[in-house]
Structure 1
Amino acid sequence: MSVVVAHLSDLHLGADDPRAVESIVDDVARARPALTVVTGDSTMRARTGEFRRVRELLDALPGPLLTVTGNHDLPLVSWRRVLRPYRRYRRWMDTDLDPDRQVLGLTALGLQSMPRWRWKNGRVSARQAAMVVRVLGGAPAGDLRLLALHHPPLAIGTARILGRDRLLDAIRAARVDLVLAGHTHVPEVRAFRPGGPVFVVAGTSVSRRTRHDIGCSWSLISAHESEVVVRERYLRDDRWVTGRIVTVPRI
């Protein structure tokens, strides 16, 4: 059985490219994903108007949806960051900060990797690591096991997330197949051995905050019994085209 996942990230509504916003829904819809995942930084500055626009975009994308917070989805500098850091996110996006979804052939879990007391880089708690083992480790036999969070778990140096080791231990214990992240605005696919987890970082899907002249992009993931195929979709001359294709063996 094949499972198709649309992976978007770093929308940054409020610093967006109107061409990308206007065209991405149709491009994602043509893929007919079983799940659409958005790995954080959906807004630029966590303003109400930005969240309202994000909600409109998400409602137009094919569901079901799984979204998580990014560092830009918390108020930047205000009393709200201290007292009500996730209030607008919960109102407009999802009341559950660590949501899970189950569709035919797929069990997915999202983690809130942006605590209010961190400025940019992320953290995964012991409670969340245990949740990975419980939810994804307990998935039905044969399900694709998908974990989503904003911060790439494999980042090193100053970008390394707190709790990285316990998260990677949990990923191994739960036999996670796909780990989806964003934050860097640069698409990437990494896998270390057949049958192990495939780590996919999506680029910035509809924002002007591009890096290395890559432009807007999102990742279309097809998981088959024997392989995972990641097709990176890029906005070129007002239309979406497939760029790099990465195939990773599962067995």
Structure 2
Amino acid sequence: MTPGRPGGLVIAHLSDLHLGAHDPDAVESVIADVAAVRPTLTVVTGDCTMRARVHQFRQARDLLDRLPAPLLVVLGNHDVPLVSGARFVAPYRRYRRLVHRDLDPVLRLPGLTALGLHSAPRWRWKSGRVTRRQGDAVVTVLGAAPAGSVRLLALHHPPRAPGLARVAGRDRLLRALAAGRVDLLLAGHTHVPASGLVRVAGTAHRLVEVVAGTATSGRTRGVGRSWTVIRVDERAIVVEERHQAGSGWAPGRTRCFPRRL
């Protein structure tokens, strides 16, 4: 599917770095572990910083620059200033200046079309939102991907999350996932790694959802630090969790999902 990569695409998925509340040793070791899988694409699904402070964004920028390129990054709720005038006047200024100007980035590679959505509006502190415009972008950008390409959507909030993490516009987004024929949805926010097959109600469409844990922070929810490597070929999507073990990282749970072309 991708020249020079027997077996298909390799996607490294990290999330919830929380620079400013991080473990320096985890930063160094995860960079090496990600590089070792030689990813086609590295995806970071938000919360690059702990409190959206300038020095934390600079720490995050340094980490991102050391991860294998190409890189797709989306904004998380911790990347918006918590309580300050900046949250209401210029909530994304620091992120745009030090991480990426585009809040809904698009990346096209041989065999892969990827779209990122920012799901952290300034008037929501923990929960997320996907707008009608963003739903339309899922359909137009990913729906137009070449036949056989992997269609990947990345955002911080898992669309099906309940309670305080619930995403406003969820039903609209799920319909867009089906209309855009999305294969793979990547998210974070919960700090607990998970993967599963999602069937979109009212349609025949199904896709694989992967939620990455926290890769470098101390906010581990009792499950430790982790990141995820995803391998995609014509037949299957294989999701392998990578968990911190001592001074390095070790394989965790692996799940295999059939791919429908």
TM-score range, shorter chain: over 0.9
CA shift at 1:195, angstroms? 7.0
1:230 equivalenced with 2:239 (yes/no) = yes
- The alignment of Structure 1 onto Structure 2 pairs a total of residues equal to 250
For the 8 Å contact 1:122–1:151, the answer to whether it is kept is yes
Q: Deviations over 1:140-197 (max 9, x none)?
A: 1111000000000111234220000000000000110000000000000010469721
Structure 1 distance, partners of 2:164, 2:52, is: 24
Q: 1:202 aligns with which of 204, 212, 229?
A: 212
Scaled by the length of structure 1, the TM-score of the pair is 0.97
Counterpart residue type for residue 206 of structure 1: T
1:33 equivalenced with 2:39 (yes/no) = yes
Q: 1:215 aligns with which of 224, 234, 240?
A: 224
Structure 1 distance, partners of 2:246, 2:35, is: 20
**Structure 2 residue aligned with 1:4:** 10
Structure 2 distance, partners of 1:246, 1:65, is: 24
For the 8 Å contact 2:178–2:205, the answer to whether it is kept is no
Structure 1 distance, partners of 2:125, 2:164, is: 12
| Structure with a larger share of its residues in strand | 2
Structure 2 distance, partners of 1:60, 1:139, is: 29
CA-based RMSD of the aligned residues comes to: 1.2
What's the secondary structure of 1:201's corresponding residue?
strand
**Structure 1 residue aligned with 2:5:** none
What's the secondary structure of 2:167's corresponding residue?
coil
1:172 equivalenced with 2:178 (yes/no) = yes
**Structure 1 residue aligned with 2:256:** 247
What's the secondary structure of 1:206's corresponding residue?
coil
Structure 2 distance, partners of 1:142, 1:148, is: 19
1:45 equivalenced with 2:71 (yes/no) = no
Structure 2 distance, partners of 1:157, 1:75, is: 22
Structure 2 distance, partners of 1:187, 1:93, is: 24
What's the secondary structure of 1:202's corresponding residue?
strand
Structure 1 distance, partners of 2:205, 2:77, is: 31
